[in-house]
Amino acid sequence: MDLHRYHYAPHLGHKALSLLLLPLSYLYGAIATLKRLAPRILYGKQGRDFGLPIISVGNLIAGGSGKTPFIIALCKHFSSLEYGHIAVISRGYKRQSKGLVWVSKQGVVLASVATSGDEPYLIASALAGHNVSVLVCKNRAKAIEEAKAQGAKLVLLDDGLRFCFKKFDVILRPSFEPFYPRFIPSGLYRESYSLYRTLASSPHAIIAQENSDFTREVRLTNPSPKMFLISAIANPTRLLAFLPPILADFSAQDLALDSSLESSAHSVGKCRIIGSRFFPDHHHFSHREIHAILESYAPTSLLTTQKDATKLQDFADTLSIMELTLHIRPSVLRALQEYVDKRGF
C-alpha cells in the first residue's frame, strides 16, 4: 500500500481502512498521553529543572516538519549573539552506536554519520566552527547533565515535547498536513491533534506555522543535465517545498501519489529529472543500491537533500544537493530570547 497516498490523499478504500484501524489508534493515543503526563506526578507541572534554559523543537506528526533546519537556524542565531556554549541533544535515530556519543564538541566534528545518525551529523556539520556541541543519547536527561557539566549554557532538545523537563516548547506545524487528524496507525499523529490548541495558549510554548513563522529557502548546488532524485526522508511530498524554480514543473501528484517517477522525465531548461527512488526515513544507502541506479539510468548527477547527502559521501562528486536555509520570524526569535534571558543569562 502507498502510505503517502493513504495519509495525504486517501481514496475510499484507504478511508475504510482508517476506520478499521481506529481501535489501535485509541490504544496508541492512550499510551502516548500517559507517557507524556505520568512524569508530571513526580516532577510537577513545570517538570524537572536542570538549572539552565532548554528549548525543545518538535512536532506532533510522525516524520519531519523541519526540526533539523530549525535547530540549525536557532543555533546560528544564538551563537551570533554570543550566548556561550550551546548543546544540541538528539536521540540519534537509527545510528549504529549505543549510549551517549559526542557527535561534535564546540564546533569540531568527532563522530561519523553511522555513529551519530544522519540528522545529528548534519547539525554538527552545518555548525562546524560555532561554539555548539551535538550529543546523541536515548537518555535525554543524562545528555543534558553531561552537556551542563561540560559548560553548556543553553540546550536545544531535538523532538523533546514528551519529556517532563522545565523547558520552552517550539512545535512546528507543517503547511501540508495529513488528511486524518488521528493517532498512528489510523492517522499520522504521535501526539493528540488537540495539543495545537492547548499549547497555543501556553506561556511556555509556541506553535510555529510553516510559511508564516518560518520559511524555507533552497539553493541547488551542482545542477546537471540529467539528474536522478534519490531520498530517504519521511513524507517525500515535503520535497515540493524544497525544490527550487529550476525544477518547478514537478507536480504535487508526482510526489504525493507515486513512489517513483521512472515513467517520465521532467525538465526545465537544460536540467531534467530522469527518475527517482525513495527509501524509508533514515535509510543508510548501500554502494550496491547507488551503483545500480548509476548503471541503470546513467544520470549526470544524483539529486538529493542535505540530510541524505551525509550518507552519500562516497559519491560526493556525483551529487546535486538541495541546500536548505530556514528563516525564522523575528517575533519567534524574540520570544525565545526572552525565555533564555530570564532562565540563564
Q: Which residues are annotated as a binding site for ATP?
A: 61-68
Residue among 280, 288, 54 nearest 165 (CA):
54
Residue among 212, 222, 237 nearest 329 (CA):
212
Q: Which three cell numbers stand for residue 160?
A: 523533546
Rounded Cα gap, residues 82 and 84, in angstroms: 5
Contacts of 125 by beta carbon, 8 Å cutoff, 6+ apart:
109, 310
Radius of gyration of the chain (CA): 20
CB 54 within 8 A of CB 155: yes
Contacts of 243 by beta carbon, 8 Å cutoff, 6+ apart:
218, 250, 322
Rounded Cα gap, residues 105 and 100, in angstroms: 13
Q: Which residues are annotated as a binding site?
A: 61-68
Q: Which three cell numbers stand for residue 257?
A: 501519489
Task: Tell me how many degrees the CA angle 118-123-129 measures, rounded to the nearest 5.
Answer: 135
HSE-up of residue 238 (Cα within 13 Å, Cβ side): 24
Rounded Cα gap, residues 161 and 173, in angstroms: 13
CA 26 from centroid of its chain's CA atoms:
26
3-state secondary structure 226-273: EEEEEECCCCHHHHHHHCCHHHCCCCHHHHHHCCCCCCCCEEECCEEE
Kindly tell me the burial class for residue 303, based on how many C-beta atoms sit within 10 Å of its own C-beta (0-12, 13-18, 19 or more): buried
> DSSP string covering 284-336, please?
---HHHHHHHHHHH--SEEEEEHHHHTT-GGGGGGEEEEEEEEEE-HHHHHHH
Q: How many CB atoms lie within 10 A of CB 203?
A: 7
